[in-house]
Amino acid sequence: MEIEARKLPIQKLAVGMYVAQLDRPWLETPFLFQGFTIKTKEEIDELREYCKFVYVDSTSLPPDDSSPDPEPTVEVAMESVDEPSEGTGLLSKLSSFFESDASEAEPGEGYVDSASLAEELPRAKDIHTRSSSVLKDVMNVLRRGGKLDLSAVESAVSPMIESVLRNQDAMIWLSRIKTIDDYSYGHSVSCSVYAIALGRHLGLPTEDINVLGLGAMLLDIGKTQLPKTLLCKPDKLSAEETVLARQHVEFGLKILDQTAGIDDRIRQMVRSHHERYDGSGYPDGLKGPDIPVYARIAGIVDFYDALITPRPYAPPVSEYDAMRGLHQRANSEFQSEMVEQFVQSVGMFPNGALVELSNGEVGVVMEQNRVRRLRPNVLVILDAEKQPVAKPVQRNLRELPAEFGEEGALWIDRGLESGAYDIDPAEYFL
């Protein structure tokens, strides 16, 4: 849709106004919703950090408004999205939620990359392959009625943690390409990687990161007790099938109860990763802080990876759209502070993500910018007409202008779903 918007300097903003457009790309700010109503003074303060002026929906201005208006009205095309229920980007510290030595640490404190992506990627590839193979064997044993081999799972998770601590981008990239032929295996490994990465970002001790990695890998072990026809059904489940599918939580807990040495936090993750912050989840309908912290993390990584992964009943979405999905559910289904930290940890556009630039070119994200995560290094594969370029070219966005109207300005306009334009990012990494 289009709305009639009026240009206003930041100092003229007030609670209740609808911000339709910024003076810079939306993706260059924490405001991930393209259009929102100002609800708090803190949101105005945050806008002031990023913008000098914005365009406000004329219908949201007070009747007697007499603001300077060099550009009386403009037509702004708006994307149809749900508004966030609360503030859009104010980060909160999470360390106080954790009962460990991490209570003295700021998120992200204590870990720095000790290897470049190029150095870590070959090691990470071997680790990812071995870990996936181990998990596949473990799940096959469970499907045949055997016991959970916890030591085998631990042997799969430990090297993944070491790799993520050296350089998390390599393992995150490998988790994205989904080379595993079974959704359950690939999803479990990816959830573990994302949970480990978030633990690193929060500055948790390695012991706690190990718990997160193990728990996330075991979230869906109960599905080994469900009929494969149910798990692979391409259509929406019936009410009876939904009840049966949800029993995977109960089945998973029974498997853990028969396994010695399970940390109680892992049990909490398996039991409560489908609980939601507003009480709408299952199996216990827990709400807010009643949901264990590690289970809140588990719910976020499970939701995110499911969205970006091809499933029998749904195609994947882009990483950006998955993050938007999380933001739309912040303060309702998911704790907003945890969502913000997850976004900071993984990035809106992880390595290997397909993106379209503001000039129409299409490329693959090759390297992260740790300071400005929305300004990565992009390898351009298609030109503005979506035709293959003769030779892929690097666009290091951190070195290019990002302001509207600046000569040579370039930014990421949108994320693309995996496989868009038949591009296989693996060709440019592996």
Could you report the per-residue pLDDT of 150-169, keeping only the tens digit for each?
999 999 999 999 999 999 98
Residues 70-100: tens digit of each pLDDT:
444 444 444 333 333 333 332 233 434 443 3
CATH number of 95-346: 1.10.3210.10
pLDDT at 37: 78
* Domain chopping of the chain, boundaries: 2-77, 95-346, 354-428
Q: In whole angstroms, what is the distance from residue 301 CA to residue 338 CA?
A: 11
pLDDT at 89: 32
Q: What number of other Cβ atoms are within 10 A of residue 38's Cβ?
A: 21
User: Sign of dihedral through CA atoms 200, 202, 207, 209?
Assistant: negative
> Any idea what DSSP says for residue 83?
P
- Percent of the chain whose predicted confidence (pLDDT) is above 90: 50
What crossing angle do the helices spanning 183-201 and 117-143 adopt, rounded to 10°? Answer: 130
Please report which confidence band the pLDDT of residue 69 belongs to, taking 50, 70 and 90 as the band edges.
very low
Q: Is the pLDDT of residue 145 over 70?
A: yes
Residues 350-374: tens digit of each pLDDT:
888 899 999 999 999 988 876 677 7
pLDDT at 370: 67
Q: What number of other Cβ atoms are within 10 A of residue 227's Cβ?
A: 11
Q: Is the pLDDT of residue 173 over 80?
A: yes
Q: In whole angstroms, what is the distance from residue 217 CA to residue 161 CA?
A: 12
Task: Kindly report the backbone phi and psi dihedral angles of residue 322, in degrees, each rounded to the nearest multiple of 5, phi listed first.
Answer: -65, -40
Average pLDDT over residues 221-237: 92
- Characterize 293-329 residue by residue with b for buried, 16 or more Cβ atoms within 10 angstroms of its Cβ, and e for exposed: bbbbbbbbbbbbbbbbbeeeeeebbbbbebbbbbbbb
Q: Is 243 helix (H, G, I), strand (E, B) or coil?
A: helix
| Residue whose token pair is 């914005």 | 54
Q: Is the pLDDT of residue 186 over 60?
A: yes
Q: In whole angstroms, what is the distance from residue 414 CA to residue 23 CA?
A: 17
- Going by their DSSP bridges, the two strands 377-382 and 354-357 should be labelled as unpaired
Q: Is the pLDDT of residue 400 over 80?
A: yes
- Percent of the chain whose predicted confidence (pLDDT) is above 70: 82
Q: Please, what is the average pLDDT of the chain?
A: 84
Please report which confidence band the pLDDT of residue 30 belongs to, taking 50, 70 and 90 as the band edges.
low
Q: In whole angstroms, what is the distance from residue 126 CA to residue 181 CA?
A: 17
Q: Is the pLDDT of residue 249 over 60?
A: yes
Residues 205-218: tens digit of each pLDDT:
999 999 999 999 99
What crossing angle do the helices spanning 248-257 and 264-272 adopt, rounded to 10°? Answer: 170
Pick left, alpha or beta for residue 35 (phi over 0 → left; psi -120 to 50 → alpha; otherwise beta): left
pLDDT at 198: 94
Bond from prior residue into 234 cis (ω within 30 degrees of 0): no
> Any idea what DSSP says for residue 309?
S
CA 305 to chain centre: 8
Say which amino acid occupies 384. Answer: A
Q: In whole angstroms, what is the distance from residue 70 CA to residue 86 CA?
A: 32
pLDDT at 179: 52
Residues 288-347: tens digit of each pLDDT:
999 999 999 999 999 999 998 888 888 888 888 898 889 889 889 999 889 988 988 888
What crossing angle do the helices spanning 183-201 and 150-166 adopt, rounded to 10°? Answer: 50
